[in-house]
Structure 1
């Protein structure tokens, strides 16, 4: 029996999030945007989602207003737990992401390569176990990270990855 939710009046939203997790467990990617006014409980919904994601690799990013001018700051938060897998990426992708994150020197990386690298990194991590990627306060993400996450969300196919 499932314990009662701490969120009163959010049954419909919790059911949608539950289906998202169930689909990812079955190897079907899912992307969901949770929108609403400040203070209505979006962060609590995300916390509940994470609590329901047993057996998942969970990676998170919280947009921070003071980091909005730092390209890839948000993406770095999301990818940091997976950086040990950089060696599995194709060399151009590995190089682009390494330069973007300050792990290697070089000219400003091609955003397409960085986006492909992020997608590949998630797909690689999802081979081990389903992945849940949670983005909170997306309005405060830097532009480069927001663009990459949009790219990734549009290209997830049959990987067991949920992006919320």
Structure 2
């Protein structure tokens, strides 16, 4: 066979020692990376729950205006429901690892009139993540505007 040369022993691939060293380096890197991943995951779950609540409160307000009838968001320990005329439109459970903050209890319900105005002056709803981080969703009574503060 002309033009072909057999591979030398050193050119055939990786040795077992080289593979073990790479696996060892990856293991050391993961040892430092994994503990830092959990707080980021807890923060993401809290942020997701807060954004979902904000969107659903705005949806309940818009639904009241569109349907020209009062809508209500009823809170429970596991989540909340959006209702119109005692008919449940949507049920939402809180994201895993999040809960209503017991320091500032959540109201039993929030209602929006047929013009979209809330039935309260101002309402603050606090959520707490698994790591104790808190976030607030506020519905302003005068305008019905929904605001999130982390």
Instruction: Give TM class, smaller chain.
Output: under 0.3
Report the structure number with the largest CA radius of gyration: 2
TM-score by length of 1: 0.25
Q: Relative contact order: is structure 1 or structure 2 higher (C-alpha 8 Å, sep ≥ 6)?
A: 1
TM-score by length of 2: 0.27
The structure where strand makes up a greater share of residues is: 2
